[in-house]
Amino acid sequence: MSEVVPDISSINSGFIADLVSAGKIGKSIIIPRAVLSSIRKSSERGDLIPLEELEKLKNCADSVGIKVEVEGWDRSGEDPDESVLRLAMEKGYTIVTSNENLAKTAEAVGLAVIKGRTRITGEPLFLKFFDKETMSVHLKEGVQPRAKIGRPGRWKLVELGGDPMGKTELEKIVQDIHERAEAGEGFLEVKREGSHILMLKDSRVIVTFPPFSDRLEVTITRKVAELEIEDYNLPEKLLNRFKERAEGILISGAPGMGKTTFAQALAKFYLRQNKIIKTIESPRDLSLPKLATEYSKTHSTSEELHDVLLLSRPDYTFFDEMRDTEDFKIFTDLRLAGVGMVGVIHATSPIDSIQRFIGRVELGVIPSVIDTVVFINNGNVEKVYDLETSVKIPHGLTESDLTRPVVLVRNFLDGEVEYELYVFGERTFVVPVKHKERKGTPPLKPVIARILGKYIDMDEVDIEVGDGEVRVMVPPERISIVARRTRKKLQKIEEKLGSKILLKPKY
């Protein structure tokens, strides 16, 4: 071959340089301007490996008398791979690439292609930081490597020892990850100017570049638990709910508490029930049998996902990581169209996940969209709610002419209503329902006094217990520190005893 045009992958991997050194390139190497521009932009944000590999290529070419030339136009926004294809088609050049997708595209339109890989041997470089108990590894230029060790909700952050991470070493790890993804070991899920998200076998990799991040940073997360639904020791009543009635399920919890692990176990449970399962993910990190089809939200539009799922009518669609209004709209539309939906959503308490739908969905429709809420904490199912609509006087009101539709949020296992949702005027209210204290349940005042007493003299505090709420009157100069130190504990008391606790300044 006399003239070749390499893409970025063949330059980064050193494949084109190896061809030159082996005497397999005859006349000249043509670098598209868009490829050169991409390498320059990479170096400006701190990723110097592509530039270093280009310099090595030039030195190899000079040593054997092969010219390196730049051709083409750097059209604004042109993809470097598209520029390689365009030059090859216009000039008849041979494409040199380490990118499997580019090679297949070029061959499909009759272009000459040399494809190959180099330096992809052994295990990924980042695996040296992992052991069987490692959930995630956090690597940052100039900072000692750290890792989260343990299980969801029960982990600790530890330093891995050794020197702070050097930029060159971290760049080699990033290059190794990208090369393996291009070689078919994974795929690049999201590519933005300041960040890349990749899937590499069972690892999710997030790479951020300056100026988006202050320094080059890599975070790798791996699954440490591969559970089945039976491992959660769920009550038979809840298992029957999943089998027979639950079709609008929310799996909620704080980050790192095991929501995705439970969603994965539930999906496999439905597969064993001979259900058709599809997923919407960004990135795609649910590890499911091939019977389940995983769709990428990143590489599709909301309209495409809606149309494909509506027409294919799966029994259940798992929506991992619902975030923005468009996600809630897709979930709602598909559920109302009769598709079983399971959504994974960040929430600090079970009721918070339901509140995320308020304002996005008409209140009376919410029970038709969500029928079961599963709250995951420390890797376990901590609370399950079911929802229904009733016409009644809302809790806390007394006038009969205030009767209206009310969404009842029940504790699924004991059947008690814990919250009521209703519209009054133009506002939507979420009201905790106060129950009569059960035998053995501690009175509210002593419980609150014990929590606050660590931070303030209780002689300065007034506690007023009302219908469905407790007003705690604190001197204004102390309210900030009391609220900050006791917030989480008071929230647990609210959930347990069904009363809203309000901190108010005492004047």
Give the pLDDT band of residue 1 (cuts 50, 70, 90): low
What is the CATH number for 135? Answer: 3.30.450.90
Predicted confidence (pLDDT) per residue in 230-271, tens digit = 999 999 999 999 998 899 999 999 887 889 889 999 999 999
Q: What is the mean pLDDT of the segment spanning 128-135?
A: 90
**Considering 70, 91, 115, which residue would you say is the last residue of a domain?**
115
Same domain, 455 and 346: no
- Residue 60 in any domain: the answer is yes
Predicted confidence (pLDDT) per residue in 285-312, tens digit = 778 888 999 898 887 888 898 899 988 8
Coil, helix or strand for 184?
helix
Residue 120 is predicted with a pLDDT of 63
What is the CATH number for 487? Answer: 3.30.300
Q: Taking 50 as the threshold, does the pLDDT of residue 441 lie above it?
A: no
DSSP at 181: I
Q: How many distinct structural domains can be found in the chain?
A: 4
Same domain, 449 and 343: no
Same domain, 160 and 139: yes
How distant, in Å, are the alpha carbons of 38, 83, 135, 211, 421 from that of 76?
Answer: 11, 11, 41, 21, 52
Q: pTM of this prediction?
A: 0.64
Instruction: Give percent above pLDDT 70 in the chain.
Output: 92
**Considering 371, 400, 432, which residue would you say is the last residue of a domain?**
432
84/103 Cα distance (integer angstroms): 11
- Residue 264 in any domain: the answer is yes
- Residue 439 in any domain: the answer is no
Predicted confidence (pLDDT) per residue in 66-107, tens digit = 889 888 766 666 788 889 998 899 888 999 998 877 888 899
- Residue 391 in any domain: the answer is yes
Same domain, 297 and 385: yes
Same domain, 427 and 307: yes
Same domain, 270 and 400: yes
Same domain, 421 and 283: yes
Same domain, 280 and 410: yes
Same domain, 342 and 250: yes
Same domain, 284 and 384: yes
Largest CA distance in the chain: 95
29/405 Cα distance (integer angstroms): 73
* Least confident range of 54-68, 403-417, 476-490: 476-490
Same domain, 192 and 132: yes
Same domain, 407 and 450: no
- Residue carrying structure tokens 């506690």: 463
Percent of the chain as helix, strand, coil, to the nearest 5: 35, 30, 35
- Residue 437 in any domain: the answer is no
- Residue 401 in any domain: the answer is yes
What is the CATH number for 354? Answer: 3.40.50.300
**Considering 432, 463, 484, which residue would you say is the last residue of a domain?**
432
Residue 406 is predicted with a pLDDT of 92
- Residue 120 in any domain: the answer is no
Angle between helices 49-64 and 167-180 (to 10 degrees): 80
What is the CATH number for 20? Answer: 3.40.50.1010
Q: Taking 70 as the threshold, does the pLDDT of residue 59 lie above it?
A: yes
Domain that holds residue 61: 3-115
